[in-house]
Structure 1
């Protein structure tokens, strides 16, 4: 089986970007007030509400991790556009129903269902990858991830403000509307890549499998990066409080500013990483980004003030943001076209596990070892992932060639 792209151009790609901005904004629109919504459903204790919120987030991550490879295999057969429409339509219905629940148990069942049926990022990544013109895969994946990071910062900010003014339940209906808009943009303006049967023998087709051994370092990088990004959030307000001496009126604003600046830096890193990877190769960029982000994480636990912390978070987030689209480009280049849906599905599964492990691990580290621990441990994880890449023969050889070429150009 090989892939036959339908008519897709710059306008279709812009429509895909707009659809993903709407979808990501929608999914994160309801995140800031999830504990408050649980309290409104009858959970009286703020601590119990926070625990429920953690369970609800983990439930979606777990079911998405289990089902993402399955949806990837379906995408290999029917094309990624169908999977993107499935994820956005299903998300609109399921999240809309969350606005009508009357108990946290009902909300939990819907969150489990959301994880089973959604997963827009993996489908959009595959679609952008397969419809990119020759030589533009890295640039397009970087641009897509830039938009997703920007929406990830925009959604919680706007969602929290909306909930304060119009109410908690109404926010779920806005999310449903944004997801419906996303699906309409995809349906109307975005092309597809569809499977086309070739005349090759079945044995030859079966021989083009997925080189999992070579992809392990890439999947490890994705897991460590997403874990590092999400592990800081539970500890950040408490850590900021220790840095400002308990000035409660500044904690929320400072924490929000640090998170927002980090999201913008990650968006910029995604764009730059995609551009650079097109010239020097994805594995070199991943290796460098992992190493530099580890160095930026290392001193964060010992900062003396929020300005220092914010500056280091911006640097670390820039390099973390560069890894995600470049890792997706590495998957695209390593996997045969007829198996890329499966490979991206596994990558989405790894990312979902990281989204569940990160906040849980960060919270546990802060509770047992202090607020600095969630900033220190990712430095060692990122450094270990960089070491794995450095020991990979192809990445090492490529890095040496790039270094020699750069040195030769300087010596001229």
Structure 2
């Protein structure tokens, strides 16, 4: 049967949707789970930050290794490996009763992760070059849709039948993602005779490409800006007058507002980026989301807060698809798995640091001031983007490391 990148995109979209939903199910109730199920009564903000962050630290350390394997053996095997491993670990989470054991399980979830970056690399490599912006925008809606449904389902499940059952639901959902990847995902453009690289050579090749390094920095800052609020939203929602029994559900709705906005706008930003340049779309997204974060300081009721989160999400939806599209443009096809592995490391380091710093800031500052800090950070990124030239010449496949530095920039 003739290869169809559109059919492949649909299949991978569904897999990433389920995988993202499985992860995000636990977001609204994780602080409450630590408190009520695992007996954490002191320094809950810090414990929440560590529980979020340890997964991402492990993922950041291991991602270049998985990226190297994906370029050697294929991105599809990485989807299968990650999906089935995470399903088992979610089941184990259901039985955990000790907070330290729970942290160990979260650690292994990071070590065995990699479904989403492998999916992005596969789409970026198996999609026609002039369609990558559109395809990656569509992929952003997959993660966003999972983020929409996940917290909402997590809030409903934890509210009606208990927090532990949500972990079993996550296991079932990620198992579906693994099965979908195993049966229907097709990897068309892949050279299995390529020699496997090592992490140090990959880092040297990446360092020789200043545009790619800048994109890694932006990936890190963008993810940090999101995750600094992850352990605080539920606590902040409780501070707005929502009862403890309803906090998980309300926080799930607030989380979902950003996901709904991303679902609406990410494909549109992808098309706009193909027309005017992804550098310009990235700049617009950073300015809008930075201002949106600052404005969240002003409202102290749950409905106004949710509306502002939605408005922020409309602009932030432009950021990651633009970065991913630029990575595809500036990296050769046979380096793309490693490129997204390194991008995943940057993302996960920031995602690890965000909850830790967010938890610490939440313990010493009014949480509203964290919104201002976050907004100013994104506006600083906008200044950085405005001072650079981002329209790049696509790098050819099998380009040697020392020639990547010769990728030229043109006015976007």
User: Normalised by the shorter chain, which TM-score bucket?
Assistant: 0.7 to 0.9
Q: 1:349 to 1:21 in 2, by over 3 A?
A: same
Q: 1:304 to 1:164 in 2, by over 3 A?
A: closer
- 1:405 is aligned to none
Residue pair 1:153, 1:264 contacting (<8 A) in 2 also: yes
**Whole-angstrom CA distance in 2 between matches of 1:108 and 1:250:** 25
**Whole-angstrom CA distance in 1 between matches of 2:298 and 2:9:** 43
**Are 1:320 and 2:316 counterparts?**
yes
Tell me which structure has the larger Cα radius of gyration. 1
SS in 2 for 1:44: coil
- 1:145 is aligned to 140
Cα deviation for residue 361 of structure 1 reads: 2.4
- 1:98 is aligned to 93
Aligned residues: 387
Correspondence list, 1:312-351, <5 A: 312-351=308-347
SS in 1 for 2:42: helix
**Are 1:262 and 2:254 counterparts?**
no
- 2:210 is aligned to 213
When structure 1 is superposed on structure 2, of 387-396 and 186-195 the one drifting more is: 387-396
**Whole-angstrom CA distance in 1 between matches of 2:157 and 2:246:** 21
Of 360, 372, 379 in structure 1, the residue corresponding to residue 375 of structure 2 is: 379
- 1:110 is aligned to 105
**Whole-angstrom CA distance in 2 between matches of 1:353 and 1:389:** 21
Cα deviation for residue 137 of structure 1 reads: 0.6
Give a deviation string over 1:235-255, Cα, whole Å, max 9, x none. Answer: 44565566x6x4648983665
**Whole-angstrom CA distance in 1 between matches of 2:220 and 2:265:** 17
**Whole-angstrom CA distance in 2 between matches of 1:136 and 1:216:** 24
Residue pair 1:284, 1:395 contacting (<8 A) in 2 also: no
Q: 1:23 to 1:254 in 2, by over 3 A?
A: closer
> Any gaps of 5 or more consecutive residues in structure 1?
1-5, 199-205, 403-412
When structure 1 is superposed on structure 2, of 176-185 and 52-61 the one drifting more is: 52-61
Q: 1:354 to 1:400 in 2, by over 3 A?
A: same
Q: 1:22 to 1:373 in 2, by over 3 A?
A: same
Cα deviation for residue 313 of structure 1 reads: 2.4
**Whole-angstrom CA distance in 2 between matches of 1:394 and 1:230:** 26
Residue pair 1:8, 1:191 contacting (<8 A) in 2 also: no
Residue pair 1:240, 1:251 contacting (<8 A) in 2 also: no
When structure 1 is superposed on structure 2, of 369-378 and 160-169 the one drifting more is: 160-169
**Are 1:302 and 2:298 counterparts?**
yes
Residue pair 1:220, 1:385 contacting (<8 A) in 2 also: no
Higher helix share: 1
- 2:166 is aligned to 171
Residue pair 1:269, 1:320 contacting (<8 A) in 2 also: no
Q: 1:232 to 1:399 in 2, by over 3 A?
A: farther
Of 226, 230, 233 in structure 2, the residue corresponding to residue 229 of structure 1 is: 226
> Any gaps of 5 or more consecutive residues in structure 2?
195-201, 393-407
**Whole-angstrom CA distance in 1 between matches of 2:336 and 2:62:** 16
Residue pair 1:223, 1:351 contacting (<8 A) in 2 also: yes
Cα deviation for residue 312 of structure 1 reads: 3.1
Residue pair 1:209, 1:339 contacting (<8 A) in 2 also: no
Correspondence list, 1:9-408, <5 A: 9-38=5-34, 43-47=38-42, 51-192=46-187, 193-197=189-193, 209-210=205-206, 211-236=208-233, 246=241, 248=243, 252=247, 255-303=251-299, 305-394=301-390
Give a deviation string over 1:47-77, Cα, whole Å, max 9, x none. Answer: 3666444322221111001001111111111
Residue pair 2:282, 2:323 contacting (<8 A) in 1 also: yes
Q: CA RMSD in A?
A: 3.2
Q: 1:264 to 1:63 in 2, by over 3 A?
A: same
SS in 1 for 2:367: coil
SS in 1 for 2:120: helix
**Whole-angstrom CA distance in 1 between matches of 2:79 and 2:294:** 38
**Whole-angstrom CA distance in 1 between matches of 2:107 and 2:245:** 36
**Whole-angstrom CA distance in 1 between matches of 2:76 and 2:346:** 22
Residue pair 1:19, 1:185 contacting (<8 A) in 2 also: yes
SS in 2 for 1:135: helix
**Whole-angstrom CA distance in 1 between matches of 2:34 and 2:112:** 23
Residue pair 1:8, 1:190 contacting (<8 A) in 2 also: no
**Whole-angstrom CA distance in 1 between matches of 2:205 and 2:24:** 36
Cα deviation for residue 40 of structure 1 reads: 6.3
